[in-house]
Amino acid sequence: MRLKTLSAGAIVVLIALGYTIVTYGQQNSSPSVYNPYPPGILPPNLNSEIHRVLAEIDFIEARALERWHKMKPPILTGQPPTLQNTGTEAVETLGELLNFDKQMSPKRNEACASCHMPYAAFSGPIPSVNLTMIAYPGTEHFRAGKRTAQRYTYAPFFPVLQYNQEQALFYGGNFWDSRATGYQLRNPDAEQAQHPPVDTQEMGFPDTACIAFRLQHSPYRRLFEEVWGKGSLDIDFPPETEEICRTPGGAAIFGTNATPIPLSPADRTHANTVYDHWGQSLDAYEQSVQVSAFSSKFDAFLKGNYTMTADEMAGYKLFNGKGNCNSCHVDGLGTTLKPGQVDTSTPATVNPVFSCFGSANEGLPLNPRDAFYYQTKPDPYGFTANPYGFGYRDLGLGTFLRSGFGSAPNPNASWRKLAPSVDGQMQVSSARNVAMTPQQCSTTEAPGPYFQKEFFHNGYIKSLKQLVHFYNTRDTAFAYPVTSGHCPQGTVERVNCWPMPEVKNNLDMTTGDLGLTDKEEDQIVAFLQTLTDGFTRPYPNRDTYTGACMHGGSSKTQGNEFLIPTPELPPCADAVCGVSPVPSPPIP
């Protein structure tokens, strides 16, 4: 075992070294890097960290290829035809291979996993990015998105986005703004996987057919065809396809054309089917126990195989009681309590995912470090991610319902009128794995050794202690009418000063003044840490982090040395706040 661990480590180091040598020249010979950022926004180690993650990605891809090569091929049989025996393993392995394939980007330098690595529960893998720019750079360096990378874990359990008329609530979807509705594949997670490959600031292909094109040349083409049918990748691509696919989406040369590869109608339909299968394969991987494992201390506790520590149990009771966390992060318990009573009932389900699948505006302050605010100038391809700069406001679900700037087309016109009632709302993520870290960095919390994560949609919060403290004290005397970076003298931001919410509309008031003590906050953190998979059995690929852990400081002030003053905010841009039906009350 020791030898194998050593050899695995050696392979990672060798791949990293090789990659660094190969790409060093490329990077230096790059004609221009898009850098509209003022000094200090991009972390100084960004290049080396991107290379580190790519080496880890290659290592995991190699692991998956090896496993596929040893897998017995499934047998297509029965009516309806089914891939008997290893069909499940085949589609899940295919999804894994797709997830860790950096060829699936114009510059062959970004995989889905670039923003979603296993050791971070498939969220952002670069501590310095999590501390600073919060959104991850895309294939075109250094375009970047606008929000934090959401965890894959348990995302497949979210239902198709639906507006429940009786309850007057939206349920389901994927993404912070629920824009992957599942309207067509009836699977929001599969549709989520279809966005980043053509997101201009992520993997950034200019045409969804580029996925089929690159798959034609992939080393696991045979597996794709085994799962989805012989000939499924037989598409007649014109000679200019490579040139088109290595040009990032959004380039001025494409205008508004979303299908620049000239394909026959039959081949276009064929390529669309491949793109659906891309999404479905990735969903299969994300739903598998390699990703959504149900292997936490809490799962062992439900089975009676783990006794929580005193602090974990106290945190669990607070989570369901005074903290009121389970009003949205549903844990499956269901007793109506009398004052002072404690819920000791058996969970209604054996696999609660700790989300109500709804959305809420928790009143996060605007985070001026978000890379999106600075991408106001055209890059070398003539693309400008955010012409509105700090005039952008993140209205989440509301902007999606309006088919608004920075979101995606809303496929259900009847929802649009509801936008003002959900402005500012973001998806209630599963609380599972919020605390997952690489195995050598035991926690998300300073003084560590810790792995720096980022929390909520804009990464304003840097530790779980801060997260619970925010819910606990957002509206107390710690709330000030200032923006981030401008807390009054004598106060400490994120400790006893909370800047005002970016969006006040529809602000959820379930929390904000919970009356928890400092110790009770810590106990809730201890409970959240029981939701990390990998306790009952190892979590796959959690051992692949080759970066460093961080040390020192306090979880209360974690990341505070990176706070910067928010500039004076211009009014919300018309492209965001002036789109009908406009927010009510108006957003300044």
Partner 1 sequence: MIRSFLKTGMTVAILVTSLLAVAQVSPTTKKAAHVRITEGPELERNDAYLVIVRWTSNNPGGTPEHYGVVHYGTNPTELDQSAKSPIRLNPGHDYTVFRVRMDSLKRRTTYYYKVDSMGDNGDPDGVRSPVRRFTTQ
Identify the CA nearest to 357 among candidates 180, 196, 173, 491: 173
Does 473 contact partner 1 by CB under 8 A? no
Position among 311, 480, 486, 496 found at the interface with partner 1 (CB under 8 A): 480
How many CB atoms neighbour CB 382 within 10 A? Answer: 11
* Whole-Å CA distances, 569 to 196, 389, 501: 29, 9, 13
Does 11 contact partner 1 by CB under 8 A? no
Piece of 15-23, 342-350, 457-465, 549-557 that binds partner 1 (CB under 8 A): 342-350
CB of 220 to partner 1, least distance (A): 16
CB of 439 to partner 1, least distance (A): 14
Q: State the greatest distance between any 2 C-alpha atoms of the chain, in Å, as a whole number.
A: 73
Position among 35, 37, 62, 63 found at the interface with partner 1 (CB under 8 A): 63
Does 122 contact partner 1 by CB under 8 A? no
CB of 207 within 8 A of CB of 274?
no
Does 352 contact partner 1 by CB under 8 A? yes
Position among 76, 218, 504, 549 found at the interface with partner 1 (CB under 8 A): 504
CB of 418 within 8 A of CB of 401?
yes
Position among 343, 485, 564, 578 found at the interface with partner 1 (CB under 8 A): 343
In terms of Cβ atoms closer than 10 Å to its own Cβ (0-12, 13-18, 19+), residue 500 is: middle
Q: What does the per-residue mask of binding to partner 1 show for 17-56, with x meaning CB under 8 A? A: ----------------------------------------
Strand partners, 83: 76
CB of 104 within 8 A of CB of 197?
yes
CB of 197 to partner 1, least distance (A): 25
Identify the CA nearest to 148 among candidates 166, 163, 136: 136
Beta-carbon-side half-sphere exposure of residue 5 (alpha carbons within 13 Å): 4
Closest to partner 1 by CB, 338 or 519: 338
Does 288 contact partner 1 by CB under 8 A? yes
Q: 456 Cβ partners below 8 Å, 6+ apart?
A: 148, 362, 364, 426, 467
d(CA 348, CA 345): 9
Piece of 132-140, 204-212, 281-289, 459-467 that binds partner 1 (CB under 8 A): 281-289
CB of 196 to partner 1, least distance (A): 24
Does 337 contact partner 1 by CB under 8 A? yes
CB of 437 to partner 1, least distance (A): 20
How many CB atoms neighbour CB 467 within 10 A? Answer: 22
d(CA 284, CA 227): 12
CB of 463 to partner 1, least distance (A): 24
CB of 500 within 8 A of CB of 483?
yes
Closest to partner 1 by CB, 361 or 523: 361
CB of 382 to partner 1, least distance (A): 41
> What torsion do the CA atoms of 510, 296, 300, 322 make, to the nearest 10 degrees?
-20
Position among 145, 249, 358, 499 found at the interface with partner 1 (CB under 8 A): 358
Closest to partner 1 by CB, 233 or 353: 353
Position among 507, 549, 575, 582 found at the interface with partner 1 (CB under 8 A): 507
Position among 45, 76, 89, 495 found at the interface with partner 1 (CB under 8 A): 89
Closest to partner 1 by CB, 95 or 137: 95
The DSSP symbol for 535 reads S
d(CA 163, CA 69): 44
Q: What does the per-residue mask of binding to partner 1 show for 521-540, with x meaning CB under 8 A? A: ----------------xx-x
Helices marked H in 30-106: 46-70, 87-99
CB of 393 to partner 1, least distance (A): 16
How many CB atoms neighbour CB 502 within 10 A? Answer: 23
d(CA 407, CA 440): 37
d(CA 44, CA 25): 19
Does 157 contact partner 1 by CB under 8 A? yes
Closest to partner 1 by CB, 163 or 306: 163
Does 513 contact partner 1 by CB under 8 A? yes
Position among 117, 333, 395, 576 found at the interface with partner 1 (CB under 8 A): 333
Q: How many residues bind partner 1 (CB under 8 A)?
A: 69
Chain-centroid distance of CA 468 in Å reads: 20
**Contacting residues toward partner 1, per CB under 8 A:** 1, 4, 8, 63, 66-67, 70, 88-89, 92-93, 157-159, 165-169, 171, 287-290, 294, 320-321, 324, 326-328, 330, 332-339, 343, 348-353, 356-358, 360, 475-477, 479-481, 504, 506-510, 512-513, 537-538, 540, 585
